[in-house]
Structure 1
Amino acid sequence: MRAVNALNVMKEGHDGSGVGLYLSGLGGPFEKLKECPILSGIFTEAGLLRVQDYMAGLGFETKYTLAYTPEVAPPSDTPKRGTYASIAFGLPRDWVNLSKDEVGQRLVRIRLDLRSEGESTGDMMVFSFWPDTIMIKEVGDPLAIGEYLQLDRNELYARHILAQGRQNTNYAINLYACHPFFIEGVCTMTNGENTAFVPIRDYLQSRGVTGYEGYQSDSEVFTHIAHYTTKKLGLDISAYKHIITPMSDDEMKSHQDRELLSNLKKACRKLIIDGPNCVIGCLEDGTMFMVQDRKKLRPGVVGGDADTGIFAFSSEICGLNAAIPERDKSQDFQPMHLDTAIVRSDCREVVQCSQKDPLLLPR
């Protein structure tokens, strides 16, 4: 609710049409289930039963279920649905010798299969299936939805939260088009417009990566580019901007890594975005980041308190003030077109990276 309240303060900056939440670094009953993938979504009674049968048939064992079926009428403009559930599963015994990559691909495939099934039957929507991860999405005013779903419950404490305060703005409302977007531990949300969506989508789909499909929003590709940068190219997130907004050839001339950056620019040319966009994201290890595209027409600010280890990334100063009122505001950072703002998982400081800096080599 801390994040939802910050969204509410920024209400003039969003249209109150919905809320999307990404939670990781979970506390409460999920604290001791870090290795168990959690299936998050909305289900009818029949859908819940079908999911349990489906998962049991694959060899998954239910470890913990957090389910909430509202008994009161939903807020205005919010559809009446069934049960909002996050179910932690133990992995099948015959997965024990699989590599981490293979396990990840299978989890993504299961999520996509369940999503497809739900789109056919209408009895389930599945937003994520990954360890230490919960996703919640709904139509309606964020604060009203937060109260309606009782998001202040102890079971929903999380160390890393992404929250977006509106639904799809360009097309019909669809919860799968609601930010944030997620794949294999990588999650992002965007304020902006991606007019280069079609060539980016087509390139991503040609990579043969499980999960690069089903696009309902032009912003979802930002998540997949972050995934491609860190998980497939093996680069640090500070290299993300070199993929989506590479420097010009003249800017690269004096860069110590110009040959590598030039090769990256050529190889990933079809992943270059066209804005304006501000992207905020979180990686599997809890690292959070913010980038702007070269047009720099969307606001964004990062600030926090190193003593408490609490930091926030916000599209407006008032949201940052609501989330962390007691902080040294002189340390707030507004990334410009060459910058990446990063708070690593230790939550000690805001790291400011520039595309002019030496490139962190692949891990």
Structure 2
Amino acid sequence: MSSTNDHESLKSRLTSLTRDMILIASTESRPEERTRCFEFLRHHLDATEGLRLDSYERNGHQSLVVRPHGCDSPDVLLCGHLDVIEHSEPDGYHSHVEDGRIYGPGSGDMKGQIAIMVELMRALHRHHPGASVGLAVTSDEERGGADGVRFLVDDVGLRCGVAIIPDGGSLCDITVEEKGVIHARITQAGREAHGARPWLGENAIERLMLRLTRLGNHFATYWPSEPIDEQVNHWFPTCSITLCETENTTVNRIPSRASAVVDIRFPPPHDVASMLEEVTEILGPGCTLETLMTAEPTHLAPDPLFSEATKEITGKDVAMVRASGGSDGRFFRDHGIPVNLSRPLVGNLHSIDEWIDIESMVTYYRICKRYITNRLSLDR
């Protein structure tokens, strides 16, 4: 009966903590809400004896690092981000529970996981004071992580033996490879004219569209002929056009400038330099390519003990998978730090009806607890 009560109590705490955070719209455009979310987390953590809470800030993006007193470089570092993407519905930052899932923006990416890590930190340090386990929470992962994890590891000097980042894979799928990333702006010049006399101008939008079509046709050659099946045939370069804009504010003016932002993902043997060279050649002369963010393909080198703990808790075989997306794990890997990347069951990420499965949150909590206990020999 005690075990059942503990299970239900943990479910209740994880659900409440997740739903409370979803109510805080911690988006890029709301720095005050990001601050409020950090304050909320501090209130949950600073009552635990023996923990040191350090705050950092870069370019308006805050970070929180929690470690035992006297332990600057914990052996295990839990790591997550509290920033969520913008939604068109300004009052959409709320949640509901249905069919064992928490629905709401940021539930699966990744406030539900932050709830797990906060509860885990409190439990571990309550039962094992001084255990070499830390927590880092940042607020810019959706923008690339330069002011968060990159700043913490490169500038602040944060180190650990291994990082646990519950921001990819699935409950029994541990990510071992991530594609590289290029976010870039393509800008095309033209010559303005009245919309009624197009022969007097050069339409920057139309010229840009021709280049984007060339780019799209080129990346289409990488696609397999059969439908895409994740983990079967998704390991190829892709290019998505995500933003288009001009300086125009009126409908009867041919624009003299147009730009588009592209999101390019690529596996080895491609790298950032080779992909930029390829894209530049396809676009041709007469336009500019400005990189906004880049990341090389990453091998995460997860700890085999994490796979063992996952199998022990779930009773299922564990798969090592490749991810089309990226994570903050690449910044740890730049310093040779292994990364364990998996997470509870989630769905509809970056949508208004994003969800996380509550029972799998408890399972993931138990996986991490078993792994940390075994790695640090806490029960011996």
Task: Please say whether Structure 1 and Structure 2 have the same fold, judged by a TM-score greater than 0.5.
Answer: no
TM-score for both structures, normalised by structure 2: 0.27
* Higher gyration radius (CA): 2
Does 1 or 2 have the higher relative contact order (CA < 8 Å, sep 6+)?
2
